[in-house]
């Protein structure tokens, strides 16, 4: 039901192109997964999500466990049926909320203090897996602790050990064989801790490995460094997933380090703020300079928004707070990232990844370091 077949590799970096098979269809990697936290992409219908060219989406276990509750989703036939989503789905484990929400951590699990109303909410490796089995995504994630950045080394070290114990419990708790359970490597920004985490988790033989604990404020330079010394310790033949990461700079960086999967809420969150991503850089379409602009957001973009609407119309919608503006911006931003991933995949197949990266940033005009070099390919002796 699951497989991961690599069919092209970059000769200068660790980038590769592969097909990830899931019960709901095949996914071409490297892939960007848009996030519908509460079983809905903000201001979009599922058919609009599919039309962006997205191949797989992500939803959040913590939020769904609280509302509507996993039992209701299960009763309605699981997430795919509940939200009418034909694409493969990945659910996170709640581990990221251990970072982002107030909580108390014990060996047993995590008690979250934040909850709209009622009693505190406890999540354990076992309950996370049970919840994710009820939700029924194609790929589910081990329950880990995503530590803050910066973080005391002593704390990170203890956390890595506990995360290994938790992930072991996740494997033991798992009962469904139509879901792939991915492990998550932690270790903050210490090379030996990242290696230790990987070395402890790889023998557990997860079908895929995520790199957690990044995109928590450390910045691209440090992320680049961490990826450089983490990915080589993950199995080459299995998918690698960089969690919570998805800006264009991060995607090129991650792919070069051999990452296959990405997710990020920023493109849809920024859509609400009228920020559009294009191959010529970001634009805030609510800016007065676009008030009379006849052009679409991106003249080369094939999305519904760029095919049918001007910057002036989008400017108008955002100026008068019409939520249709958010819908059109989200459609564009997600399509843009899918187009970008297609460019990246093609560049790897053509073995001109670094060249394509430079060409992209010469137009996109970001602060991505011009002299950035990925480490040597993983196939070389490290």
Active site residues: 92, 263
User: How far apart are the C-alpha atoms of 382 and 377, rounded to whole Å?
Assistant: 8
Q: How far is the CB of 285 from a second copy (least distance, A)?
A: 13
Which positions ≥6 away from 110 have C-beta within 8 Å? 94, 98, 103, 104, 122, 123, 124, 145
Q: Please name the helix (run of DSSP H) or strand (run of DSSP E) that holds residue 122, with its range, or none.
A: strand 121-123
Among 308, 350, 355, 363, which residue sits at the site for a second copy (rule: CB under 8 A)?
308
Q: Which of 179, 327, 338, 347 binds a second copy (CB under 8 A)?
A: 327
- Asked if the bond preceding 150 is cis, omega within 30° of 0, the reply is yes
Could you tell me which stretch among 153-161, 277-285, 288-296, 333-341 binds a second copy (CB under 8 A)?
A: 288-296
Is 188 a binder of a second copy (CB under 8 A)? no
State the pairing for strand pair 209-211/16-22: unpaired
- Is the omega angle on the peptide bond into residue 68 within 30 degrees of 0, that is, cis? yes
7 binds a second copy (CB under 8 A): no
* Contact between 299 and a second copy per CB under 8 A: no
Based on C-alpha coordinates, what's the Rg of the chain?
Answer: 20
Residue 125 host element (H or E): helix 125-135
- Per-residue string for binding with a second copy, 9-38, x by CB under 8 A? -----------------------------x
Among 122, 168, 310, 366, binds a second copy (CB under 8 A): 310
Return the range that interacts with a second copy (CB under 8 A); candidates 148-156, 229-237, 287-295, 366-374.
287-295
The contact pattern for a second copy, residues 33-72, with x = CB under 8 A and - = no contact, is -----xxxxxxxxxxx--------------x---xx---x
CA-based end-to-end distance of the chain: 33
- Of 46 and 246, which has the nearer Cβ to a second copy? 46
Of the ranges 124-132, 165-173, 311-319, 341-349, which one interacts with a second copy (CB under 8 A)? 311-319
Which one-letter DSSP state was computed for residue 35?
Answer: B
In order of 71, 274, 277, 282, the CA distances from 308 in angstroms are 41, 17, 17, 20
Q: Which of 107, 118, 294, 371 binds a second copy (CB under 8 A)?
A: 294
309 belongs to the binding site for a second copy (CB under 8 A): yes
Residues 75-134 that bind a second copy (CB under 8 A): 75-76, 82-84
Alpha helices for 288-373 (secondary structure H): 304-308, 311-319, 324-349, 353-364
Residues at the contact surface with a second copy, assessed by CB under 8 A: 38-48, 63, 67-68, 72, 75-76, 82-84, 291-292, 294, 304, 308-310, 312-313, 315-317, 319-320, 322-328
């Amino acid at each position: 039901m699951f497989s991961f077949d690599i069919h092209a590799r970059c000769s200068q970096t660790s980038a590769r192109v592969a097909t990830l098979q899931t019960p709901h269809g095949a996914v071409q990697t490297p892939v960007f997964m848009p996030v519908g936290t509460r079983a809905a992409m903000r201001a979009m219908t599922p058919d609009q999500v599919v039309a962006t060219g997205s191949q797989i989406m992500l939803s959040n276990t913590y939020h769904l466990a609280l509302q509507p509750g996993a039992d209701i989703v299960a009763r309605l036939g699981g997430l795919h049926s509940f939200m009418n989503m034909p694409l493969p789905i990945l659910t996170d484990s709640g581990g990221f909320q251990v970072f982002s929400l107030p909580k108390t951590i014990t060996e047993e699990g995590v008690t979250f203090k934040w909850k709209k109303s009622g009693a505190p909410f406890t999540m354990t490796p076992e309950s996370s897996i049970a919840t994710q089995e009820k939700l029924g995504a194609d790929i589910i994630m081990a329950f880990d602790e995503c530590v803050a950045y910066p973080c005391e080394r002593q704390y990170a070290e203890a956390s890595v050990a506990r995360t290994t114990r938790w992930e072991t419990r996740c494997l033991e708790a798992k009962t469904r064989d139509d879901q792939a359970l991915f492990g998550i490597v932690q270790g903050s920004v210490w090379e030996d801790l990242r290696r230790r985490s990987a070395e402890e988790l790889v023998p557990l033989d997860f079908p895929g490995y995520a790199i957690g604990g990044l995109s928590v404020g450390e910045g691209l330079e440090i992320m680049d460094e961490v990826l450089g010394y983490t990915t080589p310790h993950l199995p080459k033949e299995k998918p690698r997933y960089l969690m919570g990461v998805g800006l264009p700079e991060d995607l090129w960086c991650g792919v070069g380090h051999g990452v296959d999967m990405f997710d990020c809420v920023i493109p849809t969150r920024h859509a609400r703020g009228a920020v559009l991503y294009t191959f010529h850089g970001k634009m805030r379409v609510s800016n007065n300079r676009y008030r009379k602009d006849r052009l679409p957001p991106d003249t080369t973009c094939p999305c519904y928004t760029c095919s049918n609407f001007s910057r002036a119309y989008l400017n108008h919608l955002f100026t008068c707070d019409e939520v249709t503006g958010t819908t059109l911006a989200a459609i564009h931003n997600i399509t843009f990232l899918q187009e970008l991933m297609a460019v990246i995949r093609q560049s790897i197949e053509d073995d001109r990844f670094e060249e394509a990266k430079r060409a992209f940033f010469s137009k996109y005009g970001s602060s991505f370091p011009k002299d950035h070099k990925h480490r040597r390919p993983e196939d070389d002796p490290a």
